[in-house]
DNA sequence: CCAGAAATCTTTCCATTGTCAACATCGAAA
DNA sequence: TTTCGATGTTGACAATGGAAAGATTTCTGG
């Protein structure tokens, strides 16, 4: 194992850390990436942050609360990934819709452990306001896109439901299968080919307009 | 909490259990259903089976090996659910294809904890022969259906890849979102309406023939 | 039928983990 | 400056997975 740039203990001068809360969230992500959610340990996070094993308790009620905060941050980054992908495209609305889906899948592939925490775990408290709101914003991107394309509003028009569910299920299923290693794509598949494949598949799920 | 029919300790007469291996797998599923994968404990399984906490070691290398065996059983039951759904339909191949997808989603909804173990956890050893083979059989159902409909073989024709991936991603994404509580379908949605919705969405992912 | 071997189960022990309680240190407001 | 809340540390506890060693039963070869 060579040099890693993941956060690690850096002996500090002051008794107080200064920004332990944020440091712990970063440490939790590093812990998640290295050990996976199954091997995640709160004491490991504390060690990475260079504090004693009980220090996190002053910032997070328990280990799950720390994971909740990390998951909320994850949803914000997922939103950013989708927004960035949409902005990078200037075509019609359908193209932007597909691009946002690619952004969703890209985020999952780039952050498998985080994605798994966000969607595949009951450890974070998904009802906690910060997490629920961040998740709601991601959902809003999707419903907004569908509304723009079809003119149907998810909130008021039940007919929009099928479009929204289909689109979300498709990008989510792709993400889960890819990061779960269930799909064995060619190892050396170039980025453009990968993008084209994902885009074509996402297009199938899109609303018929 | 009222009466439960989940396996529980039944004091035994003999020193040897008789069929501890299978009993432990059943106990593991009960443990999973009640506590979730996060709260799963090997000692809890042993208690359910009515044996000491170290007894499982004689049948499973470690806790993950027990989960692997349970996951393999899960894949067999997933296969059965898909096969049953297909057999219950006598229409053209597309209808059977859609039915198998509904069987996939139904299995997930009926066994959320097991499904999560099978697809959303790194605790089972997915390379272990029993598990890998059971998973392979499920995959074969899908590729077989696509081949029957389109005449393209996944193994030899790369063009079949998109069809297979799209179909699998769609049913898998639906399953994950439904059991993750992310999709808020009307609580009282009747079974026929639910089935129609799922079928319509699966149809979108199907091959164009 | 019987003695040894193998399988199965139990008890005991240990390291790790999350959490709690008690105490120490620091900074900011009164 | 003093006091107090926020932040950090140490020590303890119960629960857990796993290893080691002993107890009990079953199997197997003579």
Distance CA(B147)–CA(A137), nearest Å, equals: 40
pLDDT digits (tens, 9 = 90+) for B11-50: 555 655 678 999 999 999 999 999 999 999 999 999 999 9
pLDDT digits (tens, 9 = 90+) for B105-138: 999 999 999 999 999 999 999 999 999 999 999 9
**B203 inside 8 A of chain A by CB:** no
What's the whole-number average pLDDT of chain B? 91
Q: Do residue A172 and residue B171 have CB atoms under 8 angstroms apart?
A: no
pLDDT at B54 over 90: yes
Distance CA(A118)–CA(B177), nearest Å, equals: 12
pLDDT at residue B12, rounded to an integer = 56
Q: Which residues contact A72 (CB under 8 A, 6 or more apart)?
A: A128, A130, A131, A133, A134
CA of A59 to nearest chain B CA: how many angstroms apart?
22
pLDDT at B155 over 90: no
* Residue A59 near residue A20, CB atoms below 8 Å: yes
**B200 inside 8 A of chain A by CB:** yes
pLDDT at residue B13, rounded to an integer = 54
Distance CA(A197)–CA(A191), nearest Å, equals: 10
CA of B10 to nearest chain A CA: how many angstroms apart?
31
CA of B18 to nearest chain A CA: how many angstroms apart?
32
Candidates A38, A161, A197; nearest CB to B122? A38
Q: List chain A residues with CB under 8 Å of B123.
A: 38
DSSP state of A207: P
pLDDT at residue A159, rounded to an integer = 79
pLDDT < 50: residue spans in chain A? 1-6, 9
pLDDT at residue B14, rounded to an integer = 64
A63-205 folds as Tetracycline Repressor; domain 2 (1.10.357)
Q: Do residue B169 and residue A170 have CB atoms under 8 angstroms apart?
A: yes
Q: Which CATH class is domain B1-60?
A: mainly alpha
Q: Domain map of chain A by residue range?
A: 1-60, 63-205
């Amino acid at each position: 194992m060579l040099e890693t740039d993941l956060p690690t203990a850096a002996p500090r001068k002051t008794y107080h850390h200064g920004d332990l809360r944020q440091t712990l969230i970063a440490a939790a992500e590093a812990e998640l990436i290295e050990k996976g959610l199954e091997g995640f340990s709160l004491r490991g996070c504390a060690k990475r942050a260079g504090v004693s094993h009980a220090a996190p308790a002053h910032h997070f009620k328990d280990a799950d609360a720390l994971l909740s905060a990390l998951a909320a941050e994850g949803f914000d980054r997922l939103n950013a990934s989708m927004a960035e992908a949409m902005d990078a495209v200037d075509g019609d609305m359908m193209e932007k819709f597909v691009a946002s889906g690619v952004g969703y899948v890209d985020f999952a592939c780039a952050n498998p452990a985080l994605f798994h925490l966000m969607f595949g775990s009951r450890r974070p408290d998904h009802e906690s306001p910060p997490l629920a709101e961040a998740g709601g914003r991601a959902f809003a991107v999707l419903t907004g896109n569908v509304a723009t394309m079809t003119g149907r509003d998810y909130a008021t028009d039940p007919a929009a439901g099928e479009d929204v569910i289909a689109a979300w299920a498709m990008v989510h299923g792709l993400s889960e299968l890819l990061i779960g290693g269930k799909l064995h794509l060619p190892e050396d598949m170039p980025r453009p080919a990968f993008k084209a494949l994902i885009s074509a598949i996402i297009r199938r799920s899109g609303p018929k307009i």
